Amino acid sequence: MPRVLTGLPANHAAPTLALPLLLLLPLLVWTPLPVSARRSAGTDYLRRGWLRLLAEGEGCAPCRPEECAAPRGCLAGRVRDACGCCWECANLEGQLCDLDPSANFYGRCGEQLECRLDAGGDLSRGEVPEPLCACRSQRPLCGSDGRTYAQICRLQEAARARPDANLTVVHPGPCESEPQIVSPPHNIWNVTGQDVIFGCEVFAYPMASIQWRKDGLDIQLPGDDPHISVQFRGGPQKFEVTGWLQIQALRPSDEGTYRCLARNALGQVEASATLTVLTLDQLNATGFSQLQSMNLVPEEEAESEDDYY
Ligand SMILES: *[C@@H]1O[C@H](CO)[C@@H](O)[C@H](O)[C@H]1NC(C)=O
Ligand SMILES: *[C@@H]1O[C@H](CO)[C@@H](O)[C@H](O)[C@H]1NC(C)=O
Ligand SMILES: *[C@@H]1O[C@H](CO)[C@@H](O)[C@H](O)[C@H]1NC(C)=O
């Protein structure tokens, strides 16, 4: 795939043709584009694409490496430009790329990445699959920073973003560590008679077990309480387990602090959330807006970091 290796005559173009063509660019950039650029650095990404296209049309001038601008901060590494002369930043995972290796509009994918049609879109709703850089490997790795990376491309991206950290692969598979609570339970309020659910999403390797407890009670829930139930399921991500605590037909005595405890051989972590139970009288007296200002309304779930799971 890399044209770099095909021994093109050492040619280069960008600097020599830059001036006349830059004058044309504003016109070109405003023409409607066939595809949207995902994860791109906005117009800069497309500008580079148009420059490449124009460079190709012009043919390549003799390569003068000393005139090449040194690309910096290339998170996916560097590749040779369309003329096989200067280095430029390779495209990252998730960025658009050219399926046809002889085309060079969107640019080349970096090391360990390949250009593939993205089957992730909703094809039934008329979405057109886009060619995106995808990692050749989907195997998780443990980095020397003690973090688990979904695959080698994520680790390399992180390593290039922080060169001083000397990030390397320690071993394949996730890092063994105490559990991490990816999504903790949130504070909840509701009125008597309603049902509430707390959730707790945990990443761990080796896998964790989850327990629910209520402060002040010396038992593991649900105990023998028929209006409380707990449920566990693997996922939603690999090496995760999610637990739910459901309390049906709330009573005032259910109010309190509930704790999700996640444990494996390496340690234990916990996260807690409060349950506030209001009677209808209290609700009428308090008013909804006041409750909102007390921050008892559950917040939107935070997005989980996707390079770390
Ligand atoms: C990374 O490696 C360099 C050279 O081997 C060393 O000087 C530096 O302290 C290392 N940095 C860390 C964070 O280990
Ligand atoms: C109270 O519970 C009901 C059903 O269990 C739910 O539909 C409602 O949104 C909850 N109210 C609040 C404020 O969370
Ligand atoms: C709460 O207020 C609503 C109307 O504002 C009323 O219909 C309802 O009966 C009241 N409930 C109680 C328990 O006071």
- The residue-averaged pLDDT of 248-264 equals 96
Is the CB of residue 245 less than 8 Å from the CB of residue 258? yes
Average pLDDT, stretch 10-30?
Answer: 41
- Residue 219 is classified by DSSP as S
- pLDDT surpassing 90 at residue 264: yes
Mutate which of 284, 286, 289 for ligand 3? The one with the most ligand atoms within 8 Å of its CB, which is 284
Highest mean pLDDT of the ranges 8-17, 112-121, 141-150: 141-150
CA dist 241 and 262 (Å) reads: 9
Q: Which atom of ligand 3 is nearest to the CA of 283?
A: 1
Q: How far is the centre of ligand 2, averaged over its atoms, from the C-alpha of 189 (Å)?
A: 8
For ligand 2, atom 3, name the residue with the nearest CA. Answer: 194
Q: 269 burial class (0-12, 13-18, 19+ CB within 10 angstroms)? A: middle
Q: 3-state DSSP call for residue 297?
A: coil
- Mean pLDDT along residues 144-151: 90
Q: What is the DSSP letter of 128?
A: P
Ligand 2 centroid–CA 196 distance in Å is: 7
Dmax (CA) of the chain: 84
pLDDT value for 19: 41
Residue having the nearest C-alpha atom to atom 12 of ligand 3 = 281
Strands (E), 161-291: 169-172, 177-183, 188-191, 196-205, 209-214, 228-234, 240-247, 256-264, 267-278
Q: How confident is the model at residue 47 (pLDDT cuts 50, 70, 90)?
A: confident
pLDDT at 200 over 50: yes
**Residue 228: CB atoms within 10 Å:** 17
Among residues 78, 59, 76, the alpha carbon closest in space to that of 68 is found at 78
Q: Which atom of ligand 1 is nearest to the CA of 165?
A: 13
Q: 229 C-alpha vs ligand 2 centroid, how far in Å?
A: 17
Nearest-CA neighbor of 179 among 158, 150, 219, 210?
Answer: 210
Q: Is residue 295 packed enough to be buried (19+ CB in 10 Å), middle (13-18) or exposed (0-12)?
A: exposed
Mean pLDDT of 126-149: 89
Q: Residue 191 CA: which ligand 2 atom is closest?
A: 1
User: What value does the mean pLDDT of the chain take?
Assistant: 80
Looking at residue 15, what DSSP letter applies? H
Ligand 1 pocket mutation, candidates 144, 162, 166, 170, criterion most atoms within 8 A of CB: 166
- For residues 108 and 87, the answer to whether their CB atoms sit within 8 Å is no
Which residue minimizes the CA distance to atom 4 of ligand 1?
A: 166
33 contacts: CB under 8 Å, gap ≥ 6: 46
Query: Which of 144, 164, 170 best tests ligand 1's pocket when mutated (most atoms within 8 Å of CB)?
Result: 164
pLDDT for 99 equals 87
CB distance 190 to ligand 2 below 6 Å? yes
pLDDT value at residue 284 = 78
Confidence band, pLDDT 50/70/90 cuts, at residue 55: low
Which residues, 6+ apart, have CB-to-CB distance to 281 below 8 Å?
Answer: none
User: pLDDT for 65-85, tens place per residue?
Assistant: 888 888 888 999 998 888 888
Mention every residue, 6+ apart, whose C-beta is less than 8 A from residue 304: 182, 183, 201, 237
In single-letter form, the type of residue at position 186 comes to: H
Measuring from atom 14 of ligand 2, which residue has the nearest CA? 190
List, chain by chain if needed, residues with CB within 6 Å of any ligand 3 atom.
280-281, 284
Query: In the prediction, which pLDDT does 289 show?
Result: 55
Q: Name the pLDDT band for 18 (thresholds 50, 70, 90).
A: very low
Q: Which atom of ligand 3 is nearest to the CA of 284?
A: 1
Query: 130: pLDDT confidence band, cut at 50, 70 and 90?
Result: confident
Model-wide pTM > 0.85: no
Name which of 108-112, 191-195, 290-294 the model is least confident about: 290-294
